[in-house]
Each structure stands twice: as C-alpha cells, then as structure tokens.
Amino acid sequence: MSSEGSPPATPDDLAIVAEDVGKVYQIYERPGDRLREFLAAGTRTYHRKFWALRHVSFEVRRGETVGFLGRNGAGKSTLLQIVAGTLPPSEGQVVVRGRLSALLELGTGFNPEFTGRENVLLYSRILGLSDAEIAERYDRILTFADIGDFLEVPVKAYSSGMLVRLAFATAINIDPQVLIVDEALAVGDARFMARCMTQLRRMQDDGVSMLFVGHDTDAVMRLCSQAYVLHDGHVVQQGQPAHTVSWYLAFASTGYDMARMHAFDEPAALPDAAPAAQDLGALPLATHVEADAAMAATSDELPEFQLFRFGDGTARIVGCEIRNERGERTAQVPLHGLARLHVTCEFLEDQAQHLVGFYIKDRLNLHVIGINTHQEWVPERAAHKGDVLTYVFEFNVELKPGYYSVSPSIAYNQLEHRWMDYVENMLIVHVHDPVPGRMVFGVCLPSTRRVTVHARTAPRSSDLAGAAEA
C-alpha cells in the first residue's frame, strides 16, 4: 500500500515492507499442559492460540516516518520487534532495506552487568561498525547521552532516564538508514525530549526512514506522514496523521469499543457550517466557512483540515461560528481583536449536567488553546430533550497570524473523557495582523474571557399539562 496521494512505490523506494504479518503464541492453562501435549505426540492439544498480530501489512518509503498508535497490549511492540528482527513472525514476512537501529523496550540490547561504555562498544560492533567508525562516533554518543561519570558504572544501576539517554544516543549515532523508536522517549525529561525531537527532525532531513510508536499523539502528528492504529493485533485505522489521531482519540473515548465506532463514521449534516449529507471524514474544510471577502489567500496557503465527528449522540452541535465586535459572522479576526465564538447545541435526551468547550489548533493540528464552561466557572446546568442552547465564548485573539481550526464539543463533565458530541475542525478562521510588516511570534491564553448562554427550551410535560387544564 502506498501513501495517499503518492505514486506507487518501486522496490528501491521502500525501506520497510511488511506483508500479511502475524504472530501467534500458544497459551497453556497449567504448567504441566506443555509436557502433556509433548507426550501426546500430536494426538491431543492442551493449548489455545493467541494471535498477538494478524494480517498486518504496511510500507515505509525511504525518508518517510510512519507512526503506530494503540493501547497497551494492542501489538505495537510485537510488530516492532518483528521488524527489528528480534522476534520471528508466525506468518507473513518483513523486508528491511538498509542499516537498522532500534530503540525498543527500555534497555533492550544492553547487558545489565556491563558498564555504559562497554554496552556502547558492544552494540556498535553488533551493528557492524568498524573500530574506526566506533572511534569517530564515540564522543558524539557521550555528548548526547550526557550521563557523566556513570558511563563507567554497570547499567543495572541506571535510572530509567539515564538508560534511555544512553540507548537513544547510541541508536541515532550509528548513522542508521532505518530507525525504530518504541515509546522509550516517554521516560525522558523535558529538555532531553526536546533534544530528541530536534535530532529526529535532522534525521528526517537526512532521509532516514522511521517507525515511531508512542502514546504522544502530538508527536505522531509532528513527525509522521502516515499513521496506523492497532487494536487486538489488527490494523483498524490508517491514513493521514491528523485524521488517524482524531479517530484514535474517539476510539479511546469509547473504551476501545469497536462496536460503537461505526456511529462516528456515519454521514452527518452541519447546518450553517457545511453542505448537508456529506461524509464528515472527506469534506474539505475550506467549505465549512463562508470565506470573508478580505481573506486573500491562495489554496496553497490554506492548510487542509479534515472534519471528523464522534460522540454518543445524546446531543448534537448544530452551529459554530465566529462573530466580530459588530455581531457580524466572519472567518477573519484581527490580532488582539475581540472575537465571539457561538456554539449551538441541541439536546436529544435529558441531561442532568453538561459542559461545552472548544479547542483551537494551528495548521500543524497542534492544540494551542482550550476553553470550556467548567474552566470559566459557568454554573453547570441541566438540559432537557429538545432544548437548544447557544454558548457564546468572548475572548481577545492573542494568536500569531495564520490559519486555525476550531473544534467544539459537548461533554458530560470535566473528569471523564466522554463526549455527547465532538466535531474536530468544524470551523477555520484566519488571524491577521492589522499592523503591516510586524513580526509576531508565539501564543498565549486569551486574557479577557467571558461566557454567556442563550437558551431556547423545549416545552416541559408539566407546562403542557397546565395549558390543557386552562
């Protein structure tokens, strides 16, 4: 399978090819069952099969970074071990072209009795580096690892952070053509994480192919050009990182229940925000907002945001729009100007409480602002079936000029990740600087914020009864 929108790859273009890969384990209920099965000489089995992976296929082009997401136990580490060659597949095959370096489970490949220096030398030799190549890279490894005198201490005495520093420094400095990173960076401190991300970017620029696994969805969107979701050993979603990450977060919100995911893929209409009866996953977001006449930008400048909706359907977001100080609907807001975001919600069932909020994301699909009614001390209120509530979030725009997407949501409460409705990238807006030629950097939370609620309530049964008596 080739990347979306890319021409078919030739064998020379591919760094990794995985075809119908599977891994099965034999699970015995009791320790003695293994011996009983051996003595039965094939006449009886005492085990059950557990497929950690089944029918997994993917390709990684040279210079491409592919990410894998999934909860613990989904099969991610098993897959990467097969790609790295440390675990044989039960079916299918994996072909890797080029020198491979793998940063798998914490400390994998290191002898705990050896010192850090000895492990660096041993690991480099295993990968086929000559004495001259090791000598050339040795100082770079020590500088990046930055563990000081602990280099001469057995690694069994290392903290998890020290171990990943040494492992990562070694893995990236052998000049690999293919790099595998499996969640190891999660134990690093903020400074080390920043250095790692910078180094991974440099390696991408140098044409290194990567497989990246982790629970950091922002890192997947920053680094990867393709992303996959594994669940129970199967690929259940794949595609562009932004859409795949949105799908994965929706999947996580259901408790990883595939039976509930089909509702999120149903076509839906977004009144006043998009043409009706179109597939939410495919609708180009450029049509979601009536472009302001002042928005002079070419299609190349407008980032492509993918619309995606999920939730349990007990309430729906039926409107989302930005209005300026004059109350006019607009897609263009000035830096430092006042903006009012109107989020209109229709409740399809009675709710004892709810909160409404939104995210603003930049052109890289990274969250830059998040606000909700709970955080703004808006009293929680009940809603009844048929009620339509419009929440107006008023704030100053403190974003550097550029395009941003708005993702509104209705949730049950602040503590649970359970949504009645969440529409990813429902609206795009353009922030412009009214002062020409000024350089503006960074982002901060709007300093002036206010939330008001406008309600159109449905008739209550008690009201109807009173009217009948009258």
Looking at the fold, whether 210 and 146 belong to one and the same domain comes out as yes
Looking at the fold, whether 149 and 298 belong to one and the same domain comes out as no
Q: Is residue 5 part of a domain?
A: no
**What does the pLDDT read at residue 268?**
42
Residues above pLDDT 90, as percent of the chain? 30
134 Ramachandran zone, left/alpha/beta (phi>0; psi -120 to 50): alpha
Rounded mean pLDDT of 248-268? 69
pLDDT tens digit sequence for 303-329: 666 778 888 889 999 999 999 888 889
pLDDT band, very low/low/confident/very high, at 360 (cuts 50, 70, 90): very high
Identify the bridge partners of residue 100 per DSSP, sorted by sequence position. 178
Looking at the fold, whether 239 and 279 belong to one and the same domain comes out as no
Looking at the fold, whether 235 and 343 belong to one and the same domain comes out as no
**Domain-ending residue, one of 243, 259, 294:** 243
**What does the pLDDT read at residue 196?**
83
Looking at the fold, whether 239 and 332 belong to one and the same domain comes out as no
**Domain-ending residue, one of 224, 243, 262:** 243
Q: Which two tokens stand for residue 374?
A: 């709970």
Residue 341 pLDDT more than 50? yes
Looking at the fold, whether 237 and 339 belong to one and the same domain comes out as no
pLDDT band, very low/low/confident/very high, at 384 (cuts 50, 70, 90): very high
Q: Of the candidates 334, 370, 470, 361, which has an alpha carbon nearest to the alpha carbon of residue 426?
A: 361
Asked whether the beta carbons of 317 and 423 are under 8 A apart, the reply is yes
Looking at the fold, whether 195 and 315 belong to one and the same domain comes out as no
Looking at the fold, whether 226 and 318 belong to one and the same domain comes out as no
Residue 123, classified by CB atoms within 10 Å of its CB into exposed (0-12), middle (13-18) or buried (19+), is buried
Angle between helices 160-172 and 116-126 (to 10 degrees): 30
Q: Of the candidates 51, 86, 56, 84, which has an alpha carbon nearest to the alpha carbon of residue 68?
A: 56
Angle between helices 131-145 and 160-172 (to 10 degrees): 140
Q: Is residue 41 part of a domain?
A: yes
Looking at the fold, whether 226 and 309 belong to one and the same domain comes out as no
pLDDT tens digit sequence for 220-254: 888 899 999 999 999 999 998 888 888 888 888 77
Residue 302 pLDDT more than 80? no
pLDDT band, very low/low/confident/very high, at 38 (cuts 50, 70, 90): confident
Distance CA 273, CA 266 (A): 17
Looking at the fold, whether 225 and 293 belong to one and the same domain comes out as no
Strands (DSSP E) contained in 97-249 are: 100-103, 178-182, 209-213, 226-231, 234-239
Looking at the fold, whether 200 and 324 belong to one and the same domain comes out as no
Q: Is residue 259 part of a domain?
A: no
pLDDT tens digit sequence for 117-147: 898 888 888 777 888 888 888 888 888 888 8
3-class DSSP assignment, residue 345: strand
Q: Is residue 336 part of a domain?
A: yes
Q: Is residue 362 part of a domain?
A: yes
Looking at the fold, whether 280 and 231 belong to one and the same domain comes out as no
Q: Is residue 256 part of a domain?
A: no
**Domain-ending residue, one of 243, 265, 296:** 243
Q: Kindly report the CATH number assigned to the domain that includes residue 337.
A: 2.70.50.60
Q: Is residue 70 part of a domain?
A: yes
Q: Which two tokens stand for residue 229?
A: 């979701």
CB atoms within 10 A of CB 373: 22
Asked whether the beta carbons of 142 and 162 are under 8 A apart, the reply is no
Q: Kindly report the CATH number assigned to the domain that includes residue 197.
A: 3.40.50.300
Determine the structural domain holding residue 305 and report its residue range: 275-461
Looking at the structure of the chain, the number of domains it has is: 2
Tell me how far CA of residue 356 lies from CA of 161, 231, 318, 353, 411, in angstroms.
Answer: 39, 30, 13, 10, 6
Q: Is residue 268 part of a domain?
A: no
Rounded mean pLDDT of 390-415? 90
Q: Which residues are CB-contacts of 19 (< 8 A; sequence separation ≥ 6)? A: 57, 92, 93, 94
Residue 270 pLDDT more than 50? no
Least confident stretch, 100-109, 117-126, 296-305: 296-305
